[in-house]
Amino acid sequence: MRQAGRYLPEYRASRERAGDFLTLCKTPELACEVSLQPLARFPLDAAIVFSDILTIPDAMGLGLSLVEGVGPRFAKPIRTSEDVRCLGEPDPESDLGYVGDAIRLIKRELNDSVPLIGFCGSPWTVATYMIEGGSKHDFTLIKQMLYSEPALLHQLLALLARSSSSYLLAQIEAGADAVMIFDTWGGVLSTPAYHAFSLHYIKQIVTAVNGAVPTIAFTKGGGQWLDSIADIGCSAVGLDWTTDIAKARSRIGARVALQGNMDPAILRADPVTIAAEATAIVEAFGTHPGHVFNLGHGITPDIDPDNVAVLVDTVHSCSATILASPKIDNE
Amino acid sequence: MRQAGRYLPEYRASRERAGDFLTLCKTPELACEVSLQPLARFPLDAAIVFSDILTIPDAMGLGLSLVEGVGPRFAKPIRTSEDVRCLGEPDPESDLGYVGDAIRLIKRELNDSVPLIGFCGSPWTVATYMIEGGSKHDFTLIKQMLYSEPALLHQLLALLARSSSSYLLAQIEAGADAVMIFDTWGGVLSTPAYHAFSLHYIKQIVTAVNGAVPTIAFTKGGGQWLDSIADIGCSAVGLDWTTDIAKARSRIGARVALQGNMDPAILRADPVTIAAEATAIVEAFGTHPGHVFNLGHGITPDIDPDNVAVLVDTVHSCSATILASPKIDNE
- In this prediction, residue B330 carries a pLDDT of 46
pLDDT at A326 over 80: no
pLDDT at B174 over 80: yes
Active site residues of A: 2, 6, 15, 52, 129
Are B148 and A189 within 8 A, CB to CB?
no
Instruction: Give the confidence band of B138 by pLDDT, cuts at 50, 70, 90.
Output: confident
pLDDT at A74 over 60: yes
Per-residue pLDDT of A14-68, as tens digits, reads 999 999 999 999 999 999 999 999 999 999 999 999 999 999 999 999 999 988 7
Contacts B300 to A, Cβ<8 Å? 138, 140
Q: What percent of chain A has pLDDT over 70?
A: 98
Q: Which of B174, B209, B26 is nearest to B100 (CA)?
A: B174
Asked if B128 and B187 touch (Cβ cutoff 8 Å), the reply is no
- The domain ranges of chain A are 9-238
Mean pLDDT over each residue of chain A, to the nearest integer: 95
Residue of chain B whose alpha carbon sits nearest to that of A277:
B147
Rounded to whole angstroms, what are the CA distances from B27 to A257, B50, B51, B95? Answer: 57, 10, 10, 13
Are A266 and B147 within 8 A, CB to CB?
yes
pLDDT at A137 over 90: no
Q: Which of B294, B173, B156 is nearest to B236 (CA)?
A: B294
Dihedral of the CA atoms A27, A28, A31, A33 (nearest 10)?
-120
Residue of chain A whose alpha carbon sits nearest to that of B261:
A190
The answer to whether the Cα torsion of A11, A16, A22, A26 is positive or negative is negative
- CA-based angle B274:B276:B279, to the nearest 5? 105
- In this prediction, residue A327 carries a pLDDT of 58
- In this prediction, residue B242 carries a pLDDT of 96
Which region holds residue A148: left if phi is over 0, alpha if psi is between -120 and 50, else beta?
alpha
CATH node for A9-238 = 3.20.20.210
Are A221 and B244 within 8 A, CB to CB?
no
Rounded to whole angstroms, what are the CA distances from B328 to B159, B286, B292, B315, B323? Answer: 47, 9, 20, 20, 10
Q: Which of A143, A221, A247 sits opposite B265 (nearest CB)?
A: A143
- In this prediction, residue A198 carries a pLDDT of 98
SS (H, E, C) B43-74: CCCCEECCCCCCHHHHHCCCCEEEECCCEEEE
- In this prediction, residue A152 carries a pLDDT of 98
